[in-house]
Structures are given as structure tokens and as C-alpha cells.
Amino acid sequence: MIELRTPAEIEAMRPAGRFVAETLATLRDETKVGTNLLDIDRRAHDMIRRAGATSCYIDYHPSFGASPFGKVICTSINDAVLHGLPHDYNLRDGDLVTLDFAVAVDGWVADSAISFVVGTPRDEDLALIQTTRLALDAAIAASVVGNRIGDVSYAVSQIAHADGYSINTDFGGHGVGREMHGDPHVPNDGKPGRGYPLRAGLVVALEPWFLQTTDKLVTDPDGWTLRSVDGSRGAHSEHTIAITDDGPIILTDRSFLGVD
């Protein structure tokens, strides 16, 4: 069921969005060559506890997960792009890191993801990350009253295709509210003018993610981490936004922190 939020409810979602933004900015600043993925998870767990927030991941057990996730943040490295389960791995120079983080504050959820490189970056990795960011910007710009889900999906796919990336539609954006995942599903490819009409009060997480040379995924033995079938790298950018009569509000915006 698709739920629309009142202006007061959207305001009540702002603390969750701000906390997610601050946490991701902090973790990105602290993540270096040599950082262990389990230390990233422990740091995020500590920040959640100090803020009195609630993790959306630790007990999460959807049909596609082998077991409850058991951690509070997704850490996807290099050819892993989604649902990366933190494990004992020290980051190496040039690793492409994706952090995906969702919590509830006072019962309201916010969800966001960032990709970045530790150490010396490859040009092709920076280009991939930039494409996901531009696609996210395009999706947000298309998220206005009067458009449809297909317009948002089409905006993402146009950016991806222009840069030569193919698109997997198994996982994409989704409704956000009292739960992390709700209706509507927002795929990263679609046809303009199709799908659910966007209305004021709709809150969604938009999340373009692309792989360099494929759109096919395989699941790690951990039952969670999704990787490219050919070993090519992936990147992922995500914001939770609220659609209003005055335009989209980015609830997980990090610009006030001086970061993108």
C-alpha cells in the first residue's frame, strides 16, 4: 500500500534524515586504507546507540536474505554493489567502497548510500561514481507532483545509458516511512508517463546503482552480498526524498555538512 505523509509527518522525518546524513559523512571521513569493515560497522553501531536511533538492518530478514542481516550498515567493496555484509577485511589502496545505511529515529526511517574510493582512485571508478550521482540528481529533479514513477526511472536510465552502463531492475528505489521498504517500487529504468502518479506527501528512497560492464548479479556465500558476475566494479548513490507541492525535499541531504 502506498502511503502519503502529511507536512507534519515529513517534518518529523527530518531528524532521521539528518542523522543518516551525518553518520555517512562521518564514516566516509574516517574510512581509510587499512580500515576494517567490522570497525565501520562497530562505529555505526555506536553512533546509533548514542543517538537513541534504531537500526533497520540488524534484524532485517527479507525473502532474498539467507538469515537476519546481523549488522547495522552495508559495506560493499569493489565488485560488490548491494547488501554487502561487513566482514573481516582491511581496505586496500584503490578499493571502491559503498556504504548503505538506514535507521529509524522516533519511529521514522531514512535511508541513504554513498560510494567513494580509498587511497589512489582509478579514473573508471570515479566516472562510475559520478554517473550514479548524476542519475540520482536527475531522479530527484523528476520527482515532482504531476510526473509518474516512470518519469523518475527514465531519468535514471538516460544518464546511465548515455555513459554506457546497463541497468538491473531487480533492486531499486522504494517507499520509506515507518518501515524501511514500502511501496512504490522505483526501478532504475522505465518509460516516461507510466506508473504511479507522484503526489505531495510521497516519501521514497531513490537509489541508482550501476556496474561497469554488466547488469547481472551473483550472491556471495554469506547469503547477502551481491556482486557483478564478471568482477567489474559497482557504485551506488541514494537519498530519501519527500515530494511536496513546492518540489522535492532531500531528507538525507549532506550539503549542510560541506560534503556531497
Nearest to 177 by CA among 22, 45, 23, 56: 56
The CA R_g of the chain, rounded to the nearest whole Å, is 17
Three-class SS state of 61: coil
Instruction: For the chain, give the longest Cα–Cα distance.
Output: 48
Q: Which cell is 183 given?
A: 511501496
Phi/psi at 6 (5° precision): -75, 160
Apex 34 CA angle, 28 and 35, nearest 5:
45
**Position 53: which residue type?**
A
What residues are designated binding site for a divalent metal cation? 100, 111, 174, 207, 238
What residues are designated binding site for substrate? 83, 181
- Tell the burial category of 181 from Cβ atoms under 10 Å away from its Cβ (0-12, 13-18, 19+): middle
Helices and strands counted in the chain (H then E): 4, 14
Q: How far apart are CA 183 and CA 190, in angstroms?
A: 16
Q: Which cell is 32 given?
A: 581509510
167, HSE (Cβ side, Cα atoms, 13 Å): 22
Q: How far apart are CA 47 and CA 34, in angstroms?
A: 21
Q: How far apart are CA 44 and CA 71, in angstroms?
A: 9
- Give me the residues paired with residue 238 across strands: 113
